[in-house]
Amino acid sequence: MYPFVSIGDDKPVVVVTHGDRLSIQQRAHVQNELAELLGIPLQQIFDIPGSDDYQTDLAVLDMLRYCIQRAEQNHPIKLNYLLEVHGRETLKNIVERLMGLNAVIEATVIFLCIIILLLRFSDKLLQS
């Protein structure tokens, strides 16, 4: 395993770009080789096409969502820092605020999807 590409016991996320230029068999071979070489599951290898379309946008958003979730799970929040910053705020209030971060992450991903759709729609209007 390559310790410089992982955090703790977590495995890295790998992004393969321009896989659309390869055949399906070649893409599968590349993903299997990377999974074997780096010791990571295939779910952590994202194949991002080189084209400028909805499939690429969705693949990038899926990869970003996955990375944010993994970062949230694998980077513990330093409780001492939170207690120092918030002073007398109870631990229960801190936990409630941290649980609200999931909603913020989901709202951010939805917002990014809407922006991408609006940009795509405006491009289509300009091309007409």
Burial class (CB in 10 A: 0-12, 13-18, 19+), 31: middle
pLDDT of res. 1:
43
Mean pLDDT of the chain: 77
3-state secondary structure of 8: coil
* Tens-digit pLDDT profile for residues 11-46: 788 888 888 888 889 989 999 999 999 888 888 898
pTM summary value: 0.55
Query: Encoding tokens for residue 46?
Result: 């994202």
Q: Tell whether the torsion through CA atoms of 11, 17, 20 and 25 is positive or negative.
A: negative
